[in-house]
Amino acid sequence: MQNIDLICIGKMNAKYFAEGVAEYQKRLAAFANFRIIELPEETIQEKNASPAVIEKALEKEAKAILANLRKGAAIVALCIEGKQLSSEELAGFLSDRAQSGNGDVAFVIGSSHGLSNTIKKAAALKFSMGRITMPHQLARLVLTEQIYRACTINSGMKYHK
């Protein structure tokens, strides 16, 4: 069974998002070893922090992300400059990884400041869920549903229409 991780900077604090994520996490158990890893966001004391201060915080987050990756896992970095994929294309990516002999995948959602270039450069795929801006908790819910949808597509279920 494929290992799929969702590594997130920050915690879920809205009950309604957490319940939605938990539902898809439960459903995903039939298709993959799916786990969610929450890591703390680095605190930036300055209100108008310089790009250098922000980058330093992002690098600390990157170290924590890399320390929590399964060995050999393909990183999928969620970032605005990433490629927009259809549900079928995401399913194809997961299927290709699963058939490659090393199917482990780690989707990474960064902090409110994004992801460090270290993570983006290490990514097998830079993925964008569109040009809109959404709260990270909503992005986590949407992404978890899309991972579930991709798994149902790959298994031939009728969930995706």
Strands 2-9 and 32-39 turn out to be parallel
Please check whether residue 6 is in contact with residue 144, taking contact to mean a CB–CB distance below 8 angstroms.
yes
* Residue 57 scores a pLDDT above 90: yes
pTM of the model: 0.93
* Residue 160 scores a pLDDT above 70: no
Burial 26-58 (b: 16+ CB within 10 A, else e): ebbeebbebeeeebebbebeeeeeeeeebbebb
101 is a domain residue: yes
Instruction: Quick: pLDDT tens for 137-159.
Output: 999 999 999 999 999 999 998 87
160 is a domain residue: no
**How many independent structural domains does the chain possess?**
1
Q: What residue has token string 């922090």? A: 49
Residue-number span of the structural domain to which 104 is assigned = 2-155
161 is a domain residue: no
41 is a domain residue: yes
The CATH number assigned to the domain holding 143 equals 3.40.1280.10
